[in-house]
């Protein structure tokens, strides 16, 4: 059994932190979570560096390194987190920490957990290393060399397939192959990202030739992002039993999608300009070890093909999936003016995915393809079995036929200029401490004048 699957002393629900906000019920960042981000003080010219969320604070890894509190593997890991901005240039981010592997990540998590507990002798030294989250700004947590987006919800694949190909919704390879495509890393931004509505070619229904202009069907995709830790050498595939040792952690991901551009361009080679103008991720990366209490069995309906041997393992069957609760909110300009909160349009769980993290990593490398530290895998839109669990507007509105009605009287089919989309994720169950992913927010700006 891999270390990342084992519940240990760091998950104990009885643990409390000397950072009092971490002990408030419902907090995203209790001491049982300890996710990583890259941050600096808002409006400062400080270097970005690694930090760990605890309550409403960030433990600054650069400051913590100076205290000498962390030694051995944990000290090595803290030094790697410092390199986020100070030593190797702001481009290097958490890649060095991600590359260290699960034993070192575990050593750091254990040391952080012990040093942040109530009564820890390290409190005096580390108290000076805290930065309030309210005063922080974030950067994309890693230098993402390559970004691959998968398609792991069979419900999403079927719902979308019905709209693009009514006669042939689910293609025959779906239940055998974890489908994916190579995405664009350069336009991935951290929560708070705002982007101009894309412009491009579209083919209106019944038209004889395409038209050109701003996207009219601006959509979202509720996904999770999987950050690769240590990579694999070119030509050396990863096997199911080792795949998760190469995964650093998971963040929230919104794969913004221009459906009208997509519909015209996607055959024969898949999404291109309909997807690569922006992708927004949460600043916080929750480690697989933090998620250990929330693992659930990976299950396939008996009538479906079972995974081929290279995509199968005992551990995957027993606890390859994660029960991560997910929610999408739309915050319109009118709601913001009226100080109203976002309207929730979807609730679902990652447990419904048809392929697991381990299967994505294994399949990605089966041909010898090399993953590298900081690479990002998108899960694909995580629609659940029912329509209110759909993670994209094209599904929620059934291709625009049923607009979403909001409590303030507004309605939406697709996103309008000024709309912000808020993704949230968290895990909770009896006997374990609730942990959260924070939020992932992005805003659609008007198309740029040409
Ligand atoms: Ca996607």
**CATH code for the domain in which residue 364 is found:** 3.90.850.10
Instruction: Give distance in angstroms: CA of 310 to centre of ligand 1.
Output: 24
Residues 330, 261 share a domain: yes
- The answer to whether 206 touches 224, Cβ cutoff 8 Å, is no
Same domain, 130 and 182: no
202 and 96 co-located in one domain: no
> Do residues 34 and 160 both lie within one domain?
no
Cα 381 to middle of ligand 1, angstroms: 5
Same domain flag for 38 and 112: yes
Q: In this structure, is residue 39 part of a structural domain? A: yes
* Residue 128, domain CATH: 2.30.30.230
> Are 211 and 130 members of one domain?
no
pTM of the predicted structure, to 2 decimals: 0.96
Verify whether residue 11 is a known catalytic residue.
no
Is residue 395 scored above 50 in pLDDT? yes
Here the tokens at position 154 are 């069979």
In a domain, 450, yes or no: no
The rounded Å distance from CA 184 to ligand 1 centre is 12
* Same domain as 370, residue 314: yes
Same domain, 62 and 85: yes
- On whether both 128 and 66 belong to a single domain, the answer is yes
> Which of residues 109, 139, 169 is at a domain's end?
139
Ligand 1 centroid – CA 255 distance (Å): 5
Please check whether residues 180 and 120 belong to one and the same domain: no
**Segment 264-294, tens digit of pLDDT:** 999 999 999 999 999 999 999 999 999 999 9
The catalytic residue among 11, 45, 106, 156 is 156
The Å distance, Cα 423 to ligand 1 centre, comes to: 14
Q: Please write down the HEC assignment for all residues of the chain.
A: CCHHHCCCHHHCCCCCECCHHHHCCCCCCCCCCCCEEEEEECCCCCCCEEEEEECCEEEEHHHHHHHCCCCHHHHHHHHHHHCCCCCCCCCCECHHHHCCCHHHHHHHHHHHHHHCECCCCCHHHHHHHEEEHHHEEEECCECCCCEEEECCCHHHHHHHHHHHCCCCCCCCCCCCCCCEEECCCCCEEECCEEEECCEEEECCCCCCCCEEEECCCEECCEEEEEEECCCCCCCCCCCHHHHHHHEEEEEEEECCEEHHHHHHHCCCCCCCCCCCCCEEECCCEEECCCCHHHEECCCCCCCCCCCCHHHCCHHHHHHCEECCEEEEEEECHHHHHCCCCCEEEEEEEHHHCCCCHHHHHHHHHCCCCCCCCCCEEECCCCCCCCHHHCCCHHHHCCCCCCCEECCCCCEECCCCCCCEEEEEEEECCCCCCCEEEEEEEEEEECCCCC
* Boundary-marking domain end, from 139, 155, 190: 139
Residue 237 lies in a domain: yes
- Whether residue 399 is contained in a domain is answered as yes
Instruction: Report how far residue 389's alpha carbon sits from residue 443's, in angstroms, rounded to the nearest whole number.
Output: 22
Single residue among 111, 139, 167 that ends a domain in this structure:
139
pLDDT at 89 over 90: no
Token code pair at residue 273: 């300009």
Query: What is the total count of domains within the chain?
Result: 2
- What are the tens digits of pLDDT across the range 192-213? 999 999 999 999 999 999 999 9
Question: pLDDT tens for residues 326-380?
Answer: 999 999 999 999 999 999 999 999 999 999 999 999 999 999 999 999 999 999 9
**At residue 87, does pLDDT exceed 70?**
no
For residue 166, what are the domain limits? Answer: 147-445
Identify whether residues 135 and 151 lie together within a single domain: no
pLDDT for the residue 4: 66
Q: Tell me the CA–centroid distance for residue 393 and ligand 1, in Å.
A: 13
Q: Greater confidence, 403 or 84?
A: 403
Question: Is 431 contained in some domain?
Answer: yes
Between vectors from CA 409 to CA 404 and to CA 411, what angle results, nearest 5°? Answer: 30
* Same domain, yes or no: 88 and 160: no
């Amino acid at each position: 059994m891999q270390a990342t699957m084992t519940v240990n002393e760091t998950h104990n629900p009885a643990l409390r932190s000397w950072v009092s906000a971490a002990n408030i019920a419902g907090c995203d960042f209790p001491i049982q979570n300890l996710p990583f981000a890259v941050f600096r003080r808002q409006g400062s010219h400080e270097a970005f560096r690694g930090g760990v969320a605890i309550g409403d604070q960030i433990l600054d890894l650069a400051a913590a390194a100076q205290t000498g509190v962390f030694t051995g593997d944990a000290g090595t890991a803290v030094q790697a987190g410092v390199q986020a901005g100070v030593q190797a240039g702001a481009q290097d981010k958490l890649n060095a920490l991600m590359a260290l592997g699960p034993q070192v990540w575990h050593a750091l998590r254990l040391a952080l957990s012990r040093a942040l507990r109530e009564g820890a002798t390290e409190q005096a030294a580390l108290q000076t290393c805290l930065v309030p989250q309210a005063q922080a700004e974030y950067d994309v947590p890693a230098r993402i060399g390559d970004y691959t987006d998968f398609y792991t919800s069979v419900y999403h694949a079927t719902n979308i397939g019905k709209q693009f190909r009514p006669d042939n919704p689910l293609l025959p390879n779906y239940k055998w192959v974890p489908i994916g495509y190579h995405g664009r890393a350069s336009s991935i931004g951290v929560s708070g990202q705002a982007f101009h509505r894309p412009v491009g070619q579209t083919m209106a229904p019944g038209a004889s030739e395409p038209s050109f202009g701003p996207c009219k069907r601006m959509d979202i995709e509720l996904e999770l992002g999987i950050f690769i830790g240590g990579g694999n050498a070119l030509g050396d595939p990863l096997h199911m039993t080792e795949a998760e040792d190469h995964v650093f952690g998971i963040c929230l991901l919104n794969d913004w999608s221009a459906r009208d551009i997509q519909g015209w361009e996607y055959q024969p080679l898949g999404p291109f300009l309909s997807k690569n103008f922006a992708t927004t991720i949460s600043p916080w990366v929750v480690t697989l070890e933090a998620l250990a209490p929330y693992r659930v069995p990976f299950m396939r309906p008996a009538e479906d093909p079972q995974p081929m041997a290279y995509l199968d393992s005992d551990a995957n069957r027993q606890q390859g999936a994660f029960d991560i609760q997910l929610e999408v909110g739309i915050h319109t300009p009118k709601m913001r003016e009226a100080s109203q909160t976002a309207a929730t349009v979807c609730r679902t769980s990652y447990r419904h995915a048809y392929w697991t993290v381990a299967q994505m990593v294994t399949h990605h490398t089966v041909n010898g393809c090399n993953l590298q530290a900081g690479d990002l895998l998108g899960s694909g839109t995580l629609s659940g079995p029912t329509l209110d669990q759909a993670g994209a507007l094209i599904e929620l509105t059934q291709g625009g036929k049923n607009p979403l009605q909001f409590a303030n009287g507004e309605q939406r089919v697709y996103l309008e200029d000024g709309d912000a989309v808020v993704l949230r994720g968290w895990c909770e169950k009896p006997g374990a401490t609730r942990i959260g992913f924070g939020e992932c927010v992005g805003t659609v700006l008007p198309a740029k004048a040409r």
